[in-house]
Amino acid sequence: MSLLEVDDLAIHFGGVKAVDGISFAVEPGEVFAIIGPNGAGKSTIFNLISRIYEPTRGRIRFDGQDITRLRAHDIARLGIARTFQNIELFDHSTVLANLLMGRHSHRATNVVQDILFLPKVRREERAHRRKVEEVIEFLELEAYRGKMIAGLPYGVRKVVEIGRALAIGPRLILLDEPASGLSVEETQDMAFWIEDMRREMGLTVLMVEHDMSLVTQVCDRVLAVANGRPLALGTPAEVQGHPDVQAAYLGT
Ligand code: ADP
Ligand code: MG
């Protein structure tokens, strides 16, 4: 069974058909990319899956469960984490604090228990810290843990953004342009992390990316979209060689 199934997904903003009939399925352990020109609807697909937007039409299933009408925090709790194309961190908090906040959706205790600081809360707090430490080690963020986000180079903030998503311990991670704005060397590190998310963490990865060399290196399959519509689906080589994909990129 597919981990994520998207069926005839659509959202219209007034007259703009931002996403209009997108279907695909991501298998467990797969690294799957959505590519397409600017404005194609890629980030909107992520906003629909993570339920920031409500679809006009279509259905989304995760692990066999219909999640189309769930709320955003329920989607996170089921194990779908995401990053944002424009990094969304708390600039005046530390790396550690941002990663701990990423786990907020996973809290099982309530405010009264917090105040009383019951054993259950302490146990949960330890679990949060253990997971966050694991993420810090995985992404090699040790040197930055106590640093304020605002003072960090862009490439490091980009990694922390991914750490915030990993900290919830997801099964599926949505990465919106993980390599945008990164140097060649930083992009190579990103490629290794994405490969290790699958290999070491057992994650399934759905990403939007412009850097075709990264897509070719790490992705099993690719869906190309333009104007909210599907163009081609297949291996990176098949999709890149598809005449409709080439036409969309050349604007012909
Ligand atoms: P991509 O990520 O592929 O570059 P987007 O998904 O961000 O593209 O945008 C696709 C289209 O949907 C664009 O034309 C964009 O202007 C439009 N769009 C996205 N979100 C909204 C919104 N909240 N209101 C109106 N139009 C939107
Ligand atoms: Mg986008």
Residue 188 is which amino acid? Q
Write down the pLDDT at residue 120: 77
Strand ranges across the sheet with 229-234 = 80-82, 172-176, 204-208, 31-35, 221-226, 229-234
Query: Could you tell me the pLDDT band of residue 179, with boundaries at 50, 70 and 90?
Result: very high
Write down the pLDDT at residue 104: 63
86 lines ligand 1 (CB under 6 A): no
Report residue 166 as tokens: 């990993």
Report residue 155 as tokens: 């490439």
ipTM, two decimals:
0.97
Place of tokens 């930055």: 144
* Whether the Cβ atoms of residue 162 and residue 72 lie closer than 8 Å to each other: no
18 lines ligand 1 (CB under 6 A): yes
Ligand nearest to the CA of 86: 2
Write down the pLDDT at residue 109: 59
Q: Domain map of the chain by residue range?
A: 1-79+170-252, 87-169
Cα-to-chain-centroid distance, residue 92: 23
Q: Atom 20 (ligand 1): residue with closest C-alpha?
A: 44
Neighbours of ion ligand 2 (CB under 5 A): 42-43, 85
42 lines ligand 1 (CB under 6 A): yes
Q: What is the mean pLDDT of residues 72-98?
A: 93
Q: How far apart are the first and last CA of the chain?
A: 38
Write down the pLDDT at residue 128: 87
Place of tokens 């081609």: 232
40 lines ligand 1 (CB under 6 A): yes
Query: Could you tell me the pLDDT band of residue 124, with boundaries at 50, 70 and 90?
Result: confident
Statement: residue 211 has pLDDT above 80: yes
Across the chain, mean pLDDT equals: 92
Quickly name the fold that domain 1-79+170-252 has.
Rossmann fold (3.40.50)
Q: Which residues fall within 8 angstroms of residue 182, CB to CB, at 6 or more apart?
A: 154, 155, 158, 190
- Tell which one of 44, 83, 85, 249 to mutate to probe ligand 1, the residue whose CB is within 8 A of the most ligand atoms: 44
Write down the pLDDT at residue 27: 98
Statement: residue 190 has pLDDT above 90: yes
